[in-house]
Chain A
Amino acid sequence: MSIDWITVVAQIANFLVLVWLLKRFLYRPILDGIDAREAEITRRMSEARKAQEKAQAAEAGYRKQQARLLADQDAMIEQALSATENERDTLLAAARAKLEQEQKEWHKHLERERHKFTAQLQRAGEETLLELTRKALHDLADDTLEEAIVRHVSKQLQVIAGELSHAAGDSTEAVASTRDALPEAARLRMQAEVEKLLPGMTLRFATDPQQAPGLILRVGGAQVAWTIDSYTDEFDALLDERTSARVSGRMQNDNG
């Protein structure tokens, strides 16, 4: 066991060279590579963290926007519901008004129809009554209706001749109005009665198709008349009473 000092010196030199070589070709590249890789990992982690923060911020923004949209949606739904209710109320009110209007018009129509029917019925009643009266007078008394009317009016004229004379005032003309022209005999009788009861008063005969059957004598502001209206009015009242009773009974039966 001996030490070769030349070899020792050479080995020291070799070792120092090896230290330098390994430092240059092993330690530094490896450690620098590790450091660079760690720096790269740190950088990527930092980028990932930033990207994550950015994503979280974007997510928060989207969530906020979603909440706002939901709130807007609720408000829009609420508004639409309110508008729908208003529209429905408006349409219902319009429908009700229209219905009421139609009901009113229908009632008016019914009323007009009733009046029309009543008028027709009255006219028919008048005609019938007139014919019956005329036929009864002819059969029983061999008389005409017009002459009977003239006689009736003459009687009334005798009762109120004074009042008519007073009511006539300055007027010197009396008008005898009928729906149809009076027969000549009836005219003469009527004219004679007027000349007798109202001296100085001239009589003029007139026809009015709208007038009820009968005779109306107008002297100034007063008049004396016999028309079939009073009879047909009673007939109408009787019909109305009967009709109302029948309708009431029908409604009671329907409800029962």
Chain B
Amino acid sequence: MQITPDEVIVFTIWGLDVNATIVNTWIVMALLVGISRIITRNLRADVPPGRWRTALEVIVTAIQSQIEEITEKSARHVMYFAGTLFLFIALSNLLLVIPAFSPPTSSLSTTTALALSVLVAVPLFGVAKKGVRRYLKSYIEPSVVMLPFNIIGEFSRGISLAIRLYGNVMSGAVIAAILLSIAPFFFPVVMNMLGLLTGLIQAYIFGILAAVYISTATADPEPSAHKEDYL
């Protein structure tokens, strides 16, 4: 039984094995970019939006409002990053319903890559906002003694992100596979429906946590402490 698409080699190019995770990622990317491109190619301000454009606007404004609730201000760069995380993970998890399609998010490599992206993006956003010295100073606050704990906390956040997403998606896929072998006609449907729900929730959680981490790194100490407690 294959539990990760990393092991499925689709083709090899220049000696490098291109596995199903990467190919399926490209498929998700193509779908996201293609749909966006088709809907947004002829936008005009004086023409009322159609149904598909309205749907996209609803998604984008919902993401924007969520980001603004967290960061308490308009932060488009954060939205580009966290919104892309949400859309990519959500579409990958939704494609779970397609038979023989392994979501990229069911690969620990993908979730690790996304977690590493968040792990790198958080200090980058912090440095971009505060400057190197002020950002690094936040690691020794409230005292120098907290430096190792802050560093451990930073890495543990990334690891928890990766493991949480992988565990949820993978567990859903594994359970679906097991139940498929036991009761092929009933349980897969139920598990797929449950997988859609948990997939969307996981996408939301991953995106929100990424936005919270970034806002924590870019915000002042007092509000950030409050958000940490909230999460």
Question: Which residues of A come within 8 Å of B, CB atoms?
Answer: 1-12, 14-19, 21-23, 25-27, 29-34, 36-37, 39-40
CB distance from B122 to the nearest CB of A (A): 15
Complex contacts, A17 vs chain B, CB 8 Å: 29
CB distance from A87 to the nearest CB of B (A): 68
Question: B60 touching A3 by the CB < 8 A rule?
Answer: no
Question: A15 touching B113 by the CB < 8 A rule?
Answer: yes
Given contacts A7-B6, A11-B25, A25-B36, could you give 11 more A-B pairs where the C-beta distance is less than 8 Å?
A10-B113, A12-B113, A12-B116, A15-B113, A17-B29, A18-B84, A22-B80, A27-B80, A31-B64, A31-B76, A33-B49
CB distance from B1 to the nearest CB of A (A): 13
A11 to B28, CA, bound (A): 12
The stretch that binds A, out of B15-23, B149-157, B188-196, B213-221, is B15-23
Tell me whether A4 and B19 are in contact in the complex, defined as CB-CB below 8 angstroms, given that A15-B113, A21-B33 are known contacts.
Answer: yes
A4 to B43, CA, bound (A): 41
Question: B16 touching A6 by the CB < 8 A rule?
Answer: yes
CB of B11 within 8 Å of the partner chain: no
Question: B110 touching A27 by the CB < 8 A rule?
Answer: no
CB distance from B231 to the nearest CB of A (A): 23
Question: B117 touching A12 by the CB < 8 A rule?
Answer: yes
A181 to B174, CA, bound (A): 178
CB distance from A224 to the nearest CB of B (A): 135
A-B contact pairs, 25 of them (CB 8 A): A2-B6, A3-B109, A4-B6, A4-B109, A7-B21, A7-B22, A7-B107, A11-B21, A11-B113, A11-B114, A12-B113, A12-B117, A14-B25, A15-B88, A15-B117, A19-B81, A22-B80, A25-B33, A26-B32, A26-B40, A27-B80, A30-B57, A30-B60, A33-B40, A40-B45
CB of B4 within 8 Å of the partner chain: yes
Question: A33 touching B45 by the CB < 8 A rule?
Answer: yes
Complex contacts, A5 vs chain B, CB 8 Å: 109
A108 to B49, CA, bound (A): 105
Tell me whether A39 and B60 are in contact in the complex, defined as CB-CB below 8 angstroms, given that A15-B113, A23-B80 are known contacts.
Answer: no
CB distance from A6 to the nearest CB of B (A): 7
CB of B126 within 8 Å of the partner chain: no
Out of B40, B53, B61, name the residue touching A25 (CB < 8 Å): B40
Range for the number of chain B residues in contact with chain A: 35 or more
Complex contacts, A25 vs chain B, CB 8 Å: 33, 36-37, 40
CB distance from A200 to the nearest CB of B (A): 146
A37 to B60, CA, bound (A): 15
Give B86-131 interface residues, CB cut-off 8 Å to A: 87-88, 104, 107-110, 112-114, 116-117
Complex contacts, B57 vs chain A, CB 8 Å: 30, 33-34
Question: A15 touching B84 by the CB < 8 A rule?
Answer: yes
A40 to B46, CA, bound (A): 7
Question: A37 touching B64 by the CB < 8 A rule?
Answer: no
Complex contacts, B200 vs chain A, CB 8 Å: none
A82 to B156, CA, bound (A): 103
A5 to B56, CA, bound (A): 34
CB of B199 within 8 Å of the partner chain: no
Question: A27 touching B60 by the CB < 8 A rule?
Answer: yes
The chain B residue sitting closest to A16, CB to CB, is: B117
Complex contacts, B32 vs chain A, CB 8 Å: 18, 21-22, 26
Tell me whether A37 and B56 are in contact in the complex, defined as CB-CB below 8 angstroms, given that A7-B19, A19-B81, A22-B87 are known contacts.
Answer: no
CB distance from B36 to the nearest CB of A (A): 4
B43-73 Cβ-contact flags toward A at 8 Å (1 or 0): 1011001000100110011001000000000
Q: Pick the 4 closest A-B CB pairs, nearest first.
A: A11-B113, A36-B45, A29-B40, A26-B36
Complex contacts, B64 vs chain A, CB 8 Å: 31
CB of B79 within 8 Å of the partner chain: yes
The chain A residue sitting closest to B166, CB to CB, is: A1
